[in-house]
């Protein structure tokens, strides 16, 4: 029988890269303590800060929010209803239910109701859905944080996400991205919040176990647009490496932060200006989100002219 490292009772989960096994209560304790250590060691935020937590309805972000609530941090959730069919509807339902059950405040931005659902943005601008989605998320996270006075924004990115992103950046030698990749991103614009990833040392497997042990009801399906994403290929590869050499992912990310990152320079983009329309950070007169919206409006206007002309009287 495998025994719990902490209390010697029967273990329920084995964490190979920590060379440890735990019973259910000890794993929950171990998981939460790891998150707390990351927060403190990387100076992400303190118990006095108001933290906006981006929650998609998936296991990582809900596990993160769950831990932060339990650890006594002051949090408010932020959920974007992206308008990606059933996937989005289920995600929103799970998130709202979680907030209700834990009696915590949730801010929901309904992009679909605003006519800015991701499929609409993608269709009218000929962009890949994930590109439109990335621009939307960045903008909405920053905007809501700013408008509600949050100085810290936390996301549920885990070790697998960080390792895959690192591998992608290395594969293409994205030196400026490498200079900035990490668990804490300090604001470079007056309207930006500090962005933090408290789960960056915790594997996807661990968050799945945590969510299961805690009875968190999350959306199990992946976004339909994630199928075939390069990121998944990288994750696959890293998982194969991890199976042969437990601890590879953690070493890759931690050693990068310690020895790799200092070797890269952040580039000479300079400080961003402010968008003329929305006031958020921009390079140029409009921010990328306002540019995206303008493109959508233009395309819709052009398409509407013949439609109304031929459709009149019906
Ligand atoms: S897979 Fe793409 S479209 Fe789906 S949530 Fe992620 S970034 Fe957005
Ligand atoms: Zn135990
Ligand atoms: Zn703007």
Q: CA 81 to CA 87: how far, in whole Å? A: 10
Probe target for ligand 1 pocket from 226, 229, 235, with the most ligand atoms within 8 Å of CB: 226
Retrieve residue 189's tokens.
Answer: 């614009």
Whole-prediction pTM value?
A: 0.93
Pocket-forming residues, ligand 1, beta carbon under 6 Å:
118, 129-130, 133-134, 223, 225-226
| Residue in this structure with the two tokens 């250590």, named with its chain if needed | 37
Among the listed residues 205, 214, 202, the one whose alpha carbon sits nearest the alpha carbon of residue 24: 214
Helices (H) and strands (E) in the chain, counts: 11, 10
Pinpoint the alpha helices (H) of the chain.
24-41, 59-70, 85-102, 118-125, 129-147, 159-171, 175-180, 204-213, 230-244, 248-255, 288-311
Rounded to the nearest whole angstrom, what is the distance from the C-alpha of residue 116 to the centroid of ligand 3? 14
pLDDT in tens, the chain (314 residues): 899 999 999 999 999 999 999 999 999 999 999 999 999 999 999 999 999 999 999 999 999 999 999 999 999 999 999 999 999 999 999 999 999 999 999 999 999 998 999 999 999 999 999 999 999 999 999 999 999 999 999 999 999 999 999 999 999 999 999 999 999 999 999 999 999 999 999 999 999 999 999 999 999 999 999 877 888 999 999 999 999 999 999 999 999 999 999 999 777 777 899 999 999 999 999 999 999 999 999 998 887 644 333 333 33
Q: Angle 24-41/59-70 helices, nearest 10 degrees?
A: 80
Ligand nearest to the CA of 229: 1
Ligand nearest to the CA of 27: 2
Retrieve residue 237's tokens.
Answer: 């590869």
Alpha carbon separation from 181 to 12, 25, 236 (Å, rounded)? 34, 33, 21
């Amino acid at each position: 029988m495998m025994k719990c490292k902490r209390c010697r009772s029967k273990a329920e989960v084995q964490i190979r890269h920590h060379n440890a096994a735990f019973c259910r209560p000890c794993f929950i304790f171990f998981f939460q303590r790891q998150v707390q250590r990351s927060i403190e060691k990387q100076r992400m935020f303190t118990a006095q800060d108001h933290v906006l937590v981006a929650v998609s309805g998936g296991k990582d972000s809900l596990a993160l929010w769950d831990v932060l609530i339990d650890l006594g941090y002051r949090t408010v959730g932020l959920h974007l209803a992206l308008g990606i069919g059933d996937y989005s509807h289920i995600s929103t339902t799970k998130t709202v239910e979680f907030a209700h059950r834990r009696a915590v405040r949730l801010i929901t931005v309904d992009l679909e109701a605003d006519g800015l659902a991701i499929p609409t943005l993608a269709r009218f601008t000929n962009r890949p859905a994930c590109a439109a989605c990335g621009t939307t998320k960045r903008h909405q996270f920053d905007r809501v944080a700013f408008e509600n006075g949050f100085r810290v924004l936390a996301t549920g990115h885990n070790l697998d996400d960080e390792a895959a992103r690192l591998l992608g950046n290395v594969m293409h030698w994205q030196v400026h991205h490498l200079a900035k990749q990490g668990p804490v991103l300090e604001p470079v614009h007056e309207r930006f919040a500090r962005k933090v990833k408290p789960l960056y040392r915790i594997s996807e497997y661990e968050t799945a176990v945590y969510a299961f042990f805690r009875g968190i009801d999350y959306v199990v399906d992946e976004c339909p647009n994630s199928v075939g994403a390069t990121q998944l290929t990288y994750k696959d590869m890293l998982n194969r490496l991890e199976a042969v050499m437990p601890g590879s992912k953690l070493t890759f990310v931690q050693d990068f932060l310690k020895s790799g990152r200092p070797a890269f320079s952040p580039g000479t983009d300079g400080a961003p200006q402010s968008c003329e329309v929305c006031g958020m950070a921009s390079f140029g007169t409009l921010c990328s989100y306002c540019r995206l919206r303008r493109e959508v409006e233009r395309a819709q206007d052009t398409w509407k002219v013949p439609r109304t002309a031929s459709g009149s009287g019906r």
